[in-house]
């Protein structure tokens, strides 16, 4: 086992390809650390992949496209672990919308309320 | 060539073959070649033009009636052949008196001249019309393709086609002039007059 | 509170408790403030990083588009073949005011890149550009991930600290104060009771001495006048003092 | 003087067999987007407008049933349209054009075969892989049907290669590659495919394809050999240059690999072959590559674009040059080059459309005009030619 944890990616083809090129991809005999979500990918698959990544102890960060995160928001809401960290990232078709990001909501509330 | 034929009935070669052919035969071959080659030229041209025209009209149907003119140009070469054939056919006259042998004072030079003349007139029309037909065909094919892309090119290429078509006219003009001098003698020459 | 026996001993104990609670409150308050400052910093940093992240993301995705224009559709090939993670994250720990914050650091194994010859026939340079852009984006994201984890952890820590501060301020200290007050009151009461008792005892004692002296006087002199004198020495007003 | 003639006919008899089909493909040339169309599309604010603009072009049918236009959907629809057109032409073609057209599809077949083999090896669902294949490079129906029946494991994979893929038209290229590599590696088919990178296998196959295609075109002779031969030579050179340039920074550029592996990828045809390619073998840095290319005037200018380091990349320069030579193929009649040119130019157009829609989608207005339009009056070579006139 190498040192360091993996970065898992759940996203559309562009996002996943990009990160794979950056070198996060890891394929072992029975599992991968990424999931390409296409239009015909079932929601259940996404949920399973997310739960799987979040339970693996070699995963440090889970990157997930925001529009996909919105689809499995019900799962994300119940997610309370600190590690792996779930990070919502923009995708090509869906520019980043801070309004939908749970963390950004908190940040804005705090900064807005604090000022 | 070990055994050279020495009999008087032996064929002495192409020269003898050609000189022994009847001038009527030559004249009629002239008509046949003139018409036949012209029609071959026309058909060839129409094929070249037609296939391109049909193909190009799939995507640009507007060219279909305009470019029929190319087909008509090709057709014209056949018509030249037909005209020439009719002119030549009218010039073949059989002798007034029917006999097994031509009389001694028959105008043999004129007779042969007419035969060879009409043969070559027919051949020149036929060959020029093949060339003309093919060249009109190629130009017409390009015309159809060009017109399909840009309608303004049609007239320009049509001029090229007209020049190609003119090649056939050269042939028919020369052919007519050539055949003008050809008169089949119909009676024996008047001796002493 | 009633279970606390109001003794001097206990008073001392509770005074100590109060002092401890107050200093604890002060410290926690300080910690809460420190956390709050940090928390604000993180919040600001997250807001900033998320802002730059979205521009990074745009350039990263656009480089992908450029590469696709130059190299054709190569995306499906990226996920093929064996892959070994070249970029991993190391988890360190940062300490802010006693709160342990997880920190991710980008960590490259230095292994060879997968599918190195992508775009060999054309567009290879653009593919390299995609690798670079996405690596930048990724490092940005990893930074953000640290910030975000810290943010959540700090948030949690702050909640706990604030709860403690509030608990000390609003529950524990008043409770101790109440106990102290009660002990004070009870002790005062006891004191006053003692005083009365003492006075009574004193009065009784004096009565006894007077009676004794009366008896001796009676016995020695047996004089009625002397009896009057004795009552005169007892001032009526003096007596009132002892009457409750 | 006689016009050069091959088995497919010359000026006077080409049309007898191929006149209709050539006219058809030239008629389809109308369907390329015009400068004005590009102008309108690049002005669009969102993809809805793009769709609206496209419905006035030849892509009307392709975009008609799309509710939301996305670049990838547009690409798929446009490729589908191209494939329909190509299939139509293919069904009308007679020999030797039919074989020529098949040669065009082999390039895509190579791509597909690689995808299938590599995908099957990493245990992907084969039906999913089939969906990703380029439709132009689809195999025969019977082959396609039999591919999913193989099990996605090592044995099934070997069976797949030995019983099905060998019989496909690109099978011989594959056999050649395997023979060449197994001499070097001494391994089995499976090992070779597992160990060699997909792009390198693909490059080798493409090299064999170019060589084979060139040979066929030479055999056809005439105008086709002249025009199509040149297109293929240029293609071969482009590949050689790109392989060299893109190998920098990868193991292929290591001195030992340069002569053994990289040299093998250079096609044995082209203007650069053989003196140029043998020089390219020893090239290790960009500077050296530039020095070699400066000996070849036609590539010196393209290299100049790269060396200048402007925001135009060498790929753009190659595309520009390709589009120019492909357009020029349309300038001559009665040869087969137009069919190849049509497919390649359409591909360029699809690339352009994807580029434009992506730019609009990602709000990159500054970049939107960085594409190479097809049959544009503003193309640099046309513009400079008309200025000179």
C122-143 pLDDT tens trace:
777 788 888 888 888 888 888 8
All residues at 6 or more sequence positions from C102 whose CB lies less than 8 Å from its CB, including other chains: A82, A83, C91, C92, C93, C94, C146, C149, C150, C153
Q: Do D252 and C117 touch (CB under 8 A)?
A: yes
Contact C126, D315 (CB under 8 A): yes
Report residue D280 as tokens: 């390219």
Smallest CA-to-CA distance from A62 within A72, A52, A54, A71 is with: A54
Residue D266's domain comprises: 14-388
Helix (H, G, I), strand (E, B) or coil at A32: strand
> How is domain C8-182 classified at the CATH fold level?
Helix Hairpins (1.10.287)
Contact D121, D194 (CB under 8 A): yes
- Chains touching C, CB cut-off 8 Å, 3+ pairs: A, D
- Reply yes or no on whether the pLDDT at C66 is more than 80: yes
Name the pLDDT band for D1 (thresholds 50, 70, 90).
very low
Contact D270, D242 (CB under 8 A): no
Q: Which helix (H) or strand (E) holds C96?
A: strand C87-96
Does residue C84 sit at the D interface (CB-CB below 8 Å)? no
Q: Do D246 and C119 touch (CB under 8 A)?
A: yes
Cβ neighbourhood burial of C17 (10 Å; 0-12, 13-18, 19+): middle
- Chains touching B, CB cut-off 8 Å, 3+ pairs: D
Contact B38, B81 (CB under 8 A): yes
Domain ranges of chain C: 8-182
- Reply yes or no on whether the pLDDT at B132 is more than 90: yes
- When the candidates are 3.40.640.10, 3.30.360.10, 3.60.150.10, 3.40.50.10580, the CATH number that belongs to A6-110 is 3.40.50.10580
Q: Indicate the number of domains in chain D.
A: 1
User: Which chain A residues are within 8 Å of C152, Cβ to Cβ?
Assistant: 82, 103
Q: What are B66-104's pLDDT values in tens digits?
A: 889 999 999 999 999 999 999 999 988 888 877 788 788
User: Which chain D residues are within 8 Å of C125, Cβ to Cβ?
Assistant: 245-246, 313-315
**Sign (positive or negative) of CA dihedral C152, C153, C157, C158:** negative
Q: Which of C70, C77, C117 sits opposite D313 (nearest CB)?
A: C70
pLDDT value at residue A113: 53
User: Which chain D residues are within 8 Å of A95, Cβ to Cβ?
Assistant: 363
Residue B73's domain comprises: 35-92+115-180
Q: Indicate the number of domains in chain B.
A: 1
Identify the CATH number of the domain in which residue B133 sits.
1.20.120.610
Mean local confidence (pLDDT), B97-113: 82
Smallest CA-to-CA distance from B87 within B3, B178, B156 is with: B178
Q: Do D24 and B144 touch (CB under 8 A)?
A: no
Residues across chain D: 389
Does residue D27 sit at the B interface (CB-CB below 8 Å)? yes
**What would the 3-class secondary structure string for A47-96 be?**
HHHHHHHHHCCCEEEEEEEHHHHHHCHHHHHCCCCCCCEEEEECCCCCCC
- Reply yes or no on whether the pLDDT at C226 is more than 60: no
Q: Do D250 and C62 touch (CB under 8 A)?
A: no
Residue B127 is assigned to a structural domain of this protein: yes
Pairwise pLDDT comparison (A2 vs B7), residue with the higher score: B7
Please tell me the distance from the alpha carbon of residue D257 to that of residue D317, in angstroms, as a whole number: 28
Measured in angstroms, the CA of B63 and the nearest CA of chain D are apart by 11
To probe the interface with D, which of C124, C128, C131 has the most D CB atoms within 10 Å?
Answer: C124
Q: Do D122 and A92 touch (CB under 8 A)?
A: no
Lowest mean pLDDT across C187-191, D152-156, D293-297:
D152-156
Chain D residues 318-347 with CB within 8 Å of chain B: 333
To probe the interface with A, which of D47, D67, D70, D72 has the most A CB atoms within 10 Å?
Answer: D72
Q: Do D245 and C125 touch (CB under 8 A)?
A: yes
Strands A85-89 and A34-36: unpaired
Residue B63 is assigned to a structural domain of this protein: yes
Does residue A109 sit at the C interface (CB-CB below 8 Å)? no
Domain ranges of chain A: 6-110
Residue C137: CB atoms within 10 A of its CB come to 25
Residue D290 is assigned to a structural domain of this protein: yes
Q: Does the structure's ipTM exceed the value 0.90? A: no
Please tell me the distance from the alpha carbon of residue C155 to that of residue C36, in angstroms, as a whole number: 9
Name the pLDDT band for C48 (thresholds 50, 70, 90).
confident
Q: Which of D115, D247, D251 sits opposite C76 (nearest CB)?
A: D115
């Amino acid at each position: 086992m190498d040192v360091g944890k993996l970065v898992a990616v759940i996203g559309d083809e562009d996002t996943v390809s990009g990160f794979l090129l950056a070198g996060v991809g890891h394929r072992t005999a029975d599992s991968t650390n990424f999931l390409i979500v296409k239009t015909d990918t079932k929601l259940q698959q996404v949920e399973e992949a997310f739960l799987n990544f979040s339970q693996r102890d070699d995963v440090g960060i889970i990157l997930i496209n925001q529009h996909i995160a919105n689809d499995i928001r019900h799962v994300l809401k119940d997610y309370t672990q600190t590690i792996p960290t779930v990070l919502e990232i923009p995708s090509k078709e869906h520019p980043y919308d801070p309004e939908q990001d749970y963390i950004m909501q908190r940040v804005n509330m705090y900064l807005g309320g604090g000022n | 060539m070990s055994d050279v034929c020495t009999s008087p009935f032996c064929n002495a070669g192409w020269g003898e073959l050609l000189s022994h052919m009847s001038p009527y035969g030559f004249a009629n071959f002239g008509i046949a070649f003139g018409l036949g080659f012209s029609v071959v030229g026309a058909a060839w041209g129409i094929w070249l033009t037609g296939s391109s025209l049909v193909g190009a009209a799939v995507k640009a149907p507007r060219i279909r009636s305009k470019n029929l003119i190319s087909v008509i140009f090709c057709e014209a070469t056949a018509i030249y052949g037909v005209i020439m054939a009719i002119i030549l056919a009218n010039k073949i006259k059989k002798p007034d008196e029917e006999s097994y042998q031509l009389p001694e004072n028959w105008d043999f030079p004129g007779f042969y001249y007419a035969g060879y003349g009409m043969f070559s007139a027919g051949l020149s029309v036929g060959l020029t019309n093949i060339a003309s037909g093919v060249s009109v065909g190629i130009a017409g094919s390009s015309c159809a393709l060009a017109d399909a892309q840009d309608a303004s090119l049609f007239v320009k290429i049509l001029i090229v086609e007209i020049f190609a078509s003119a090649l056939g006219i050269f042939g028919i003009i020369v052919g007519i002039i050539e055949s003008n001098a050809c008169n089949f003698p119909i009676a024996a020459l008047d001796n002493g007059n | 509170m009633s279970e606390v026996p109001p003794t001097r001993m206990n008073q001392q104990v509770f005074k100590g408790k109060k002092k401890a609670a107050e200093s604890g409150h002060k410290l926690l308050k300080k910690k809460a403030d420190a956390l709050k400052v940090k928390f604000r910093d993180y919040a600001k940093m997250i807001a900033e990083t998320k802002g730059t992240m979205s521009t990074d993301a745009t350039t990263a995705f656009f480089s992908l588009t450029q590469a696709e224009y130059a190299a054709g559709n190569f995306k499906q090939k990226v996920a093929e073949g064996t892959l070994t993670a070249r970029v991993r994250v190391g988890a360190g720990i940062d300490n802010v005011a006693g709160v342990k914050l997880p920190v991710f650091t980008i960590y490259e194994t230095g292994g060879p890149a997968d599918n190195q010859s992508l775009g060999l026939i054309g567009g290879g340079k653009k593919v390299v550009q995609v690798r670079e852009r996405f690596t930048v984006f990724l490092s940005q994201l990893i930074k953000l991930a640290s910030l975000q984890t810290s943010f959540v952890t700090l948030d949690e820590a702050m909640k706990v600290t604030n709860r403690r501060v509030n608990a000390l301020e609003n529950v524990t200290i008043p409770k101790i104060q109440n106990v102290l007050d009660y002990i004070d009151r009870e002790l005062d009461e006891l004191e006053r009771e003692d005083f009365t008792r003492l006075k009574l005892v004193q009065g009784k004692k004096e009565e006894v001495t007077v009676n004794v002296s009366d008896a001796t006087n009676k016995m020695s002199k047996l004089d009625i006048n002397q009896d009057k004198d004795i009552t005169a020495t007892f001032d009526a007003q003096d007596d009132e003092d002892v009457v409750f | 003087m006689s016009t050069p003639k091959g088995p497919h006919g010359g000026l006077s008899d080409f049309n007898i067999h191929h006149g209709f089909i050539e006219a058809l493909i030239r008629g389809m040339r109308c369907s390329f987007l015009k400068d004005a169309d590009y102008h309108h599309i690049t002005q669009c604010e969102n993809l809805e407008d793009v769709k609206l603009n496209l419905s006035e072009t030849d892509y009307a049918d392709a975009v008609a049933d799309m509710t939301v236009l996305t670049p990838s959907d547009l690409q798929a629809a446009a490729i589908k349209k191209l494939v329909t057109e190509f299939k139509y032409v293919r069904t009308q073609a007679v020999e030797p054009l039919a074989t020529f057209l098949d040669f065009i599809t082999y390039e895509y077949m190579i791509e597909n075969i690689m995808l299938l083999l590599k995908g099957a090896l990493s245990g992907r669902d084969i039906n999913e892989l089939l969906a990703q294949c380029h439709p132009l490079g689809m195999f025969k129906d019977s082959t396609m049907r039999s591919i999913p029946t193989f099990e996605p494991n090592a044995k099934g994979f070997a069976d797949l290669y030995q019983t099905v893929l060998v019989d496909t038209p690109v099978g011989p290229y594959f056999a050649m590659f395997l023979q060449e590599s197994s001499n070097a590696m001494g391994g089995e088919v499976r090992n070779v495919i597992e160990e060699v990178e997909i792009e390198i296998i693909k490059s080798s196959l493409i090299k064999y394809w170019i060589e084979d295609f060139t040979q066929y075109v030479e055999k056809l002779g005439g105008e086709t050999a002249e025009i199509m031969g040149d297109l293929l030579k240029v293609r071969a050179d482009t590949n050689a240059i790109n392989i060299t340039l893109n190998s920098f920074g990868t193991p292929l550029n290591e001195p030992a690999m340069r002569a053994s592996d990289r040299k093998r990828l250079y096609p044995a045809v082209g203007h650069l072959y053989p003196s140029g390619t043998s020089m390219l073998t020893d090239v290790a840095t960009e500077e050296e590559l530039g020095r070699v290319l400066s000996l070849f005037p036609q590539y010196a200018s393209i290299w100049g674009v790269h060396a200048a380091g402007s925001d135009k990349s060498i790929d753009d320069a190659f595309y520009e040059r390709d589009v120019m030579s492909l357009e020029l193929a349309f300038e001559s009649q009665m040869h087969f080059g137009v069919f190849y040119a049509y497919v390649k130019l359409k591909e360029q157009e699809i690339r352009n459309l994807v580029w434009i829609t992506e730019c609009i989608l990602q709000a990159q207005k500054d970049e939107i005009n960085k594409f190479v339009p097809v049959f544009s009056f503003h193309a640099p070579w046309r513009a400079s030619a008309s200025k000179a006139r």
